[in-house]
Structure 1
Amino acid sequence: MTLQVGSILEGTVVNITNFGAFVEVGGKTGLVHISEISNAYIKDIKKHLKEQDKVKVKVIGVDDNGRMSLSIRQVPADKVSQKPVEIDWDKEKRKTSSLSFEDMMSKFTKESEEKMQDLKRGQDSKRKGGYSKR
């Protein structure tokens, strides 16, 4: 197993921090920075990775001290093994089946009105803070 820049290897997540995940690859540990996990913005890394997860990583850098920079998002799609997502359909049904149609509609209407009020407040504040005509 070669640890050269550009190599794509499988590793195990050994530690998760706010700024990234440490992945063990070939007996050495490297860092996958939070920006290298996904193309999408990640606020909470723990929603994407767990300790002991097996992940494919690409070595994107090795410094003079032997520290590795790794990336999950740069691994080509054909190299990634997609694990199936489990959805509890019964749980989803229980959420909506407990409410009557009228209750669901009133909830929807209330949420929509709140969102519209927030949107109008945002537009009004932009108008007030803008340039004035003289």
Structure 2
Amino acid sequence: MTVKKQLSPSDFFTVPAASEGRKLFLALPDGSETDQYLTVLGIDSPAAQQALKHASQIIRDAAETGDSKAQSTDIGERADLMFRASLVIGWSFEAKCSPDAVAELLRNNPQLAIAVEQFAADRRRFYGGKPARS
């Protein structure tokens, strides 16, 4: 007979693990694995939620001002980049990890920018299961 563990409300908390961040290991453009990594927040972290709200507000403001479609697209792309960069709270490079440095990395590697957002949204990486190398 299997004994079921009695769960408590704290068993459903997501903010603590999401706020710690997890390592997203990087590969070179040719696909070679490296030991370099970014530390990425989970989407449930307060910082990620705030960044998402900020990016959404930038896009809404642009739409309300009646900017041209090209301007709106540019503003949307910058808001996306800012959001994705805000998910990165550290890295293994010797250079200082700053929002501008992270944004430069992600701007120059669009696939990595997408990977950061997908990693942050992958709840398995933060709340259980075996951590995966990406």
How high is the TM-score relative to the length of structure 2? 0.22
More helix as a share of residues: 2
More strand as a share of residues: 1
Of structures 1 and 2, the larger Rg is shown by: 1
Greater relative CO (CA pairs within 8 A, separation 6+):
2
How high is the TM-score relative to the length of structure 1? 0.22
